[in-house]
A and B are shown apart, each in its own frame.
Chain A
Amino acid sequence: MTNEGNDLPQATEHRLEELEHGLFTSDLSVNEFLLIKEVGFHPVGFVMGSSIYHTGIQTRKWSQSQELTKLTEAMYNARELAMTRMEEEAAELGADGVVGVRLDVNYYEWGKDAAEFIAVGTAVKAEDGISRLNKLGKPFTSDLSGQDFWTLRQTGYMPQGLVMGTCVYHIAHRGLGQTLGTTGQNVELPNFTQALYEARELAMTRMQDEATRLEATGIVGVRLEEKSHQWGSHTIEFLALGTAVTKTSDDVTLAKPTTIISLDN
């Protein structure tokens, strides 16, 4: 991470210089490419950001469900770093945004408790020369496909950013007394219900807070993911992801949908 003004590696500079001369790379399918062009954008390059993060440890109480705030912060910061570096690559290319963003986490044998967080996507630029940067003056990001980006634009909405919220939660082990107390019964466990309900809501609230900072009208395509990563089955990361959008026009140019009754399935 040696360049001044941003923290991109030197190898990136050479690749981006080539892209600035007109050559573009993208992971868009042909249909996606055509639809991105159709709504007035041109792909300018395949961009990525990465962060290798040591997630550390946090003590947890064996019999208590609780949020592991240090792990929550680590998982959030690592993704944020990867996203920021991808946005910096896009900004270097003069892009207005990044579509088809994918966020992945990889673990390697050589790095105990370390994980690589990667964000990749295709940077796009508006062909009419009018800036489409988001409210924070950065390229917008979105996990929408080319088809979804086209459809969204037809309904008068514009992506502002890929927003996320996370909550790493430790699920209590059940003690002998608790287990014996309900032996032979299938009953609701209100403490578990409340704890896990709260964990999911926290992840979603944090995602919405990010959308609010972008002055978004709403979030589309929200996904709730749950992973234990390498922490064991009692520690779960609840991740909420979606694309924050703002309404930019009341004109809906989407063709009137036609009912299709498929004959093949």
Chain B
Amino acid sequence: MADTPRDLPEAATRRFADGSFSSGLSVADFAACLDMGLEPVGLVQGFCAMQWGAFTMSGMGPGLNPFSGTQGGYVQNYQCPHGMVSNEHRSWGQNYQQNWIEDAWRTGFNNAYSRMMQEAQALGAHGVIGVIDSENPLADTGVVEFHLRGTAVTLRDLQAPSETPWSTFLAGQRLAKIFEAGYVPVSIVTSVASVRVWAYCVTEYLMEGTGGLFSNYGGAAEIVQVVDAQNTVRDLVRSRVRSSLHGDALHGAHLEVSVREFAKGDLELQSRLSGNRVRRFKDFDPLPVARPTVRLS
């Protein structure tokens, strides 16, 4: 599957040839969409299956030199302060950025995204609203599937778009509020960062609460190596998203950080930041004074 307009399955072409529209919006969002002058033209989706492996090197042991194959990304080394030499004592530790995980994630997500947008373009849409994205392991094949879907819309009484459609995670009243606040959606923005932690002796003792003198006698203490990794994985993803905004604003940012333990003292931290890139098109009009209302729901 190449990144061209011919990249869509044959069944998608047949589906679009049909006259009726489909929409993944709830009825409330559908009604709000009509009220804003947006007409749904079709449910669009993009998909990418990626081979996915988590490659662990934790069996290399504490006696080897720190790893240096991070292709220019973040690396931070930690040296044992105790002067001990033992196969049981981790004399060094390292935090490093896993560029290859980030690159693979970006490939999978971008392929699925571009296919969804190709479907929207094939329908002559101005934009895609209510985007939902998911990544799931596929059966037990070591494959991760990236799936994006949303509802392609056209702006009523406007001629066919000449450029790539815009996209947003928002729909319904949340999208209406963005317009009301004087912004238009440009695109969804999502990125990930991945940092691996190989613990050194101090981190190991602090995480286990053992080590006596080496770990503050089991008392409360900051685990510096893990804190560094947590801060870095957040900073990396934030700077990557910031660099993709090109002067626009990010609305509805959502940051998630997950931690996976592969083996004793071998952690992977992954952060993911998603949001809506929006651009101001008019000044903000103050909202009318609120009145209490009764709502049936």
Contact surface of A with B, Cβ cutoff 8 Å: 31, 34-35, 144, 147-149, 151-152, 154-155, 171, 173-174, 179, 182-190, 192-194, 196-198, 200-202, 204-205, 207-209, 211-212, 216-224, 233-234, 236, 242, 244, 252, 254, 256-261
Contacts and interface: CB of A to CB of B under 8 A. Distances in A.
A148 B28 CA distance: 7
B104 A260 contact: no
Contacts of B31: 151-152, 154-155, 254
Contacts of A261: 177, 287, 290
B21 A189 contact: no
B15 interface: yes
Interface string B1-23: 10000001111101100111111
B290 A257 contact: no
Q: Interface residues of B toward A: which range?
A: 35 or more
23 contacts: A147-B27, A148-B27, A148-B28, A151-B27, A151-B31, A152-B27, A187-B50, A188-B51, A188-B107, A192-B138, A192-B145, A193-B1, A193-B111, A196-B49, A201-B45, A208-B22, A220-B27, A221-B23, A254-B35, A257-B35, A259-B176, A259-B180, A259-B287
Contacts of B28: 147-148, 151
Interface string B32-60: 10110000100101011111110100000
Given A185-B51, A222-B22, 13 more contacts: A148-B26, A171-B141, A185-B53, A198-B11, A200-B45, A204-B11, A218-B22, A219-B22, A219-B23, A221-B24, A221-B27, A236-B139, A244-B20
B30 interface: yes
A197 B46 CA distance: 8
A174 B139 CA distance: 11
Contact of B20 (A197, A219, A221, A224): A219
Contact of A204 (B22, B26, B141, B297): B22
Given A147-B296, A152-B27, A217-B21, A192 B49 contact: yes
4 smallest CB-CB distances across A and B, nearest first, come from A186-B104, A201-B11, A192-B49, A148-B27
Contacts of B9: 194, 197-198, 201
Interface of B: 1, 8-12, 14-15, 18-28, 30-32, 34-35, 40, 43, 45, 47-53, 55, 100-101, 103-104, 107-108, 111, 115, 138-143, 145, 149, 173, 176-177, 180, 287, 290, 293, 296-297
B49 A212 contact: no
Contacts of B143: 174, 189, 192
Of the candidates A212, A222, A244, the one having the most CB atoms from chain B within 10 angstroms of its own CB is A222
B296 A144 contact: no
B30 A220 contact: yes
B23 A186 contact: no
Contacts of B18: 205, 208-209, 212
A36 B49 CA distance: 44
B287 to A, nearest CB: 6
Contacts of A148: 26-28
B138 A198 contact: no
A211 B22 CA distance: 10
A174 B27 contact: no
A242 B47 contact: no
B171 to A, nearest CB: 12
Contacts of A211: 20, 22
Of the candidates B101, B138, B173, the one having the most CB atoms from chain A within 10 angstroms of its own CB is B138
B51 A189 contact: yes
Contacts of B176: 257, 259
A194 B7 CA distance: 10
A130 to B, nearest CB: 23
A62 B158 CA distance: 51
Contact of B140 (A219, A233, A242): A233
